[in-house]
Amino acid sequence: MGFSAHNLFVTVGKAISQHTCPIPTCGVKWIGTFQPVLLNFFREDRGAHYNAFTTVANWRAYGSIEYGGLLYGQKAHSLRSFIDIPTKTCEGFVLALSIHPEERKDLESLARNGWKLVDPAVVACTPARYLDFIRGSKVEFGIAKSGYVAARCGWFSDRSVCYLASGRPVVAQETGFSDYLPCGAGLFSFRSCDEALEAIHCVNADYACHSRAAQAIAYEYFDSNKVLSKLMASVH
């Protein structure tokens, strides 16, 4: 990994080095941080063009591994467990999903269960289009890589931060991030389909309130000025 060439190590897996996280530290002292986000980019609100729960994702990214008897897998492994969510609610679900066309079985299952797929190379191909897709969404429905879920590493997506900063509530699969971020208003974590459906119901019960709470979380925890100041103090 080239660790010997460095003397400071920073991670957005806030739980790494904690007793709740089984990931080896490799003898390294890790400094946990939130992602720094330039919040000014997200202030403009153009309305929910998609009127749907959305996200931007890769079906598969780097390879899966097994460690300590657990599979640390891909987003594909996680989403399959929640694939029938659209059939249990009247909400629309739109995925800007990078998935190989030969994944026919999964593509058929996604379509059969009501997921609408759009091409991220079109709707999120530039920073401006990426922001437009997020700001045009109603809520993010965030599925984490199964490896992050299994590890309970505390990872939270910078993509989800962009939703929050845009005043878009986030319903995200639990990775341990709820130990570090307030959940229940604007941001919800879920482990099961029932918890996800409950979060969807809560968001819809008072969308305006959760929209304001979402943006407040972004400004409190992810403002680049705050995050980078704290990080620089930690590594000084």
Token reading at 144: 């984490």
What was the pLDDT predicted at 97? 96
- In whole angstroms, how far apart are CA 130 and each of 42, 55, 135, 200, 227? 11, 11, 9, 23, 23
Which residues have CB under 8 Å from 92's CB, separation 6+? Answer: 50, 51, 52, 53, 86, 116
What is the residue whose two structure tokens read 């460690």?
67
What was the pLDDT predicted at 181? 98
Q: pTM for the whole thing?
A: 0.94
Domain coordinates in residue numbering, the chain: 3-36+224-235, 39-221
What was the pLDDT predicted at 44? 67
What CA–CA distance (Å, rounded) separates 211 from 163? Answer: 10
What was the pLDDT predicted at 48? 65
- CATH classification code of 39-221: 3.40.50.2000
What was the pLDDT predicted at 68? 84
Specify the DSSP class assigned to residue 88: G
Token reading at 166: 């845009």
Per-residue pLDDT tens digits of the chain, which is 236 residues long: 788 899 999 999 999 998 889 888 988 899 999 999 999 888 766 666 778 999 999 999 888 888 888 888 899 999 999 999 999 999 999 999 999 999 999 999 999 999 999 999 999 999 999 999 999 999 999 999 999 999 999 999 999 999 999 999 999 999 999 999 999 999 999 999 999 999 999 999 999 999 999 999 999 999 999 999 999 998 87
What was the pLDDT predicted at 1? 74
Helix %, strand %, coil % of the chain (to 5): 40, 20, 40
What was the pLDDT predicted at 236? 75
What was the pLDDT predicted at 114? 97
- Cβ atoms within 10 A of the Cβ of 137, count? 24
Whats the size of the chain, residue-wise? 236
- Cβ atoms within 10 A of the Cβ of 94, count? 22
What CA–CA distance (Å, rounded) separates 93 from 109? Answer: 14
